[in-house]
Amino acid sequence: MSKRAIASPPVLPGYAVIRPLGSGGFADVFLYEQDLPRRVVAVKVLAAEAVNDETLRAFNAEADILARLSAHPAIVTVHLASISSDGRPFFVMEYCPDTMSARLRRDSLALTTVLETGVRIAGAVETVHRAGLLHRDIKPSNILITALGSSVLADFGIAAAGDEDGDVAMSVPWSAPEVLQETTNGTVASEVWSLAATVYTLLTGRSPFESDRRQANTRDLMTARIIKAVYTPTGRDDVPPRLEEALRVGLSRDPSRRFASAQAFAEELRWVQYELGIPPTAIEVASPEWARAAGLIDLADSGRRGPLVSTVNPDSRRAQREAKQAAAAAEAKRDRDGLVVRERRWAANPLVPALIGAGVAVVAVVGVGVALIAGGVL
């Protein structure tokens, strides 16, 4: 099957197209310049011929998840999502000029860079988990590098709820044995595996179970080696024993023997930094209060979405009746002194998904939105 040709960029009011950035299975990415505020942005556009219920579901989910999580400093920022005049869904996001995988192809990475990236991305993954979600495709090519040189996690197109059943989506070299065996479509433990596999790749330039012989790296042969999960040391002289052990634990065949959470993995990387005399990188994660306050994301939504138009007629009899009932209920709550008795409204709110990765440290709320703090090892 031939590769799909990149489509022409849509006309977007307030944006001027500069050039194509790339093309994937069902979407194209273009570089635009936004007029106000003046900045360059990446615009991901769903290909017209690829629009169906499943691609719309994935596209909507990615836009919604990024909108929820992109306040995190290690998750790519989304600015806008809508539908173009020719009917193609799109979203506008932060432009990142490089990826970790491309950088790795050009040159080897310093140990300090790998450790910093590992801690940052683990904090991002922990925040995803605290929102009741799984990324399901953690790998070097999904770690982008911003204009300021910081690493950020991207590509949430196959993300899922932590308890969601369904088809398994994977990138084999960074997938856990249980995912390849299709006993699960993803768990916190399988994401810890992917994190460890990604850090290993950044250190060595190859995935943990990749062979030196190209013909031995077919999907089936690599899958067989991953399922056996016999750890091979990185072979780098500057990698200390504690880091080798952290990677070995993260890549354990038995999920129960891995780190209990992405944050626990990040904390171990910070200990490695500390013992090497490197200032430990902050672990930035969302607070439990943020996770409880956040609404649910409908990951099954496959509708065409854009500018919101209300479907409720404010003059309808039903609306009038409900308004009268609300007024009567408020009046009934007044006590003998004429003061309104207020109920605890949060008791009636829908429950958000239970936080996965129990036992992580409680962190303080700072500011509005995603509250981030530095996890400490000292």
User: Which residue, 211, 88, 72, is CA-closest to 153?
Assistant: 72
What is the pLDDT at residue 315? 52
- pLDDT score for 42: 96
pTM, full prediction: 0.75
187-213: average pLDDT = 96
**CA 354 to each of CA 6, 133, 162, 333, 375: distance values in angstroms, whole numbers, following the listed order:** 41, 10, 9, 33, 22
Per-residue pLDDT tens for 228-257? Answer: 999 999 999 999 999 999 999 999 999 999
DSSP 164-207: --S-----GGG--HHHHTTS-S--HHHHHHHHHHHHHHHHHSS-
Question: Tokens representing 11?
Answer: 């006309």
Res 1 pLDDT > 50:
no
Strand order in the sheet with 78-83: 15-23, 27-34, 39-46, 89-94, 78-83
Q: Which residues, other chains included, contact 82 with Cβ-Cβ below 8 Å and sequence gap of 6+?
A: 89, 90, 91, 306, 307
Q: What is the pLDDT of residues 63-109, one digit of tens each?
A: 788 888 888 999 999 999 888 988 888 989 999 999 999 999 999 99
4-18, 41-55, 77-91, 349-363: which range is least confident on average? 349-363
- Look at residue 155 in the predicted model and tell me its pLDDT: 84
Region of poorest pLDDT, from 21-25, 46-50, 155-159, 274-278: 155-159
Residue 321's pLDDT band, with cuts at 50, 70 and 90, is low
Both structure tokens of 319: 């609306």
Q: What is the pLDDT of residue 113?
A: 98
Say which CATH topology domain 98-292+354-374 has: Transferase(Phosphotransferase); domain 1 (1.10.510)
Smallest Cα–Cα separation from 174: which of 66, 100, 109?
Answer: 100
Give residue 287's pLDDT.
77
How much is the average pLDDT of 25-33?
Answer: 90
Q: What is the pLDDT of residue 360?
A: 37
pLDDT digits (tens, 9 = 90+) for 139-181: 999 999 999 999 999 987 665 555 444 444 568 999 999 999 9
Of the candidate ranges 3-7, 18-22, 322-326, the one whose mean pLDDT is the lowest: 322-326
Choice among 88, 120, 136, 270 that is catalytic: 136
Q: What is the pLDDT of residue 52?
A: 81
The pLDDT of residue 46 is above 60: yes
Mean pLDDT, the chain, integer: 80
Q: Where are the extended beta strands (E) located within the chain? A: 15-23, 27-34, 39-46, 78-83, 89-94, 98-99, 133-134, 143-145, 151-153, 160-161, 284-285, 373-374
**Position 334 confidence tier, pLDDT thresholds 50, 70, 90:** very low
| pLDDT at residue 370 tops 60 | no
Give the CB-side neighbour count of residue 318, counting CA atoms within 13 A.
2
13, 1 Cβ separation under 8 angstroms: no
The domain ranges of the chain are 15-94, 98-292+354-374
- Mean pLDDT, rounded, for 319-338: 53
Q: Which of 2-6, 280-284, 318-322 is predicted with the least confidence, judged by mean pLDDT?
A: 318-322
Confidence of residue 312 (pLDDT cuts 50, 70, 90): very low
Whether the predicted pLDDT of 314 surpasses 90: no
Output the six-digit token pair for 324.
């009268």
Q: Looking at the domain 15-94, which fold is it?
A: Phosphorylase Kinase; domain 1 (3.30.200)
219 is an active site residue: no
- H/E run at residue 320: helix 317-332
Q: Say what the pLDDT of residue 114 is.
A: 98
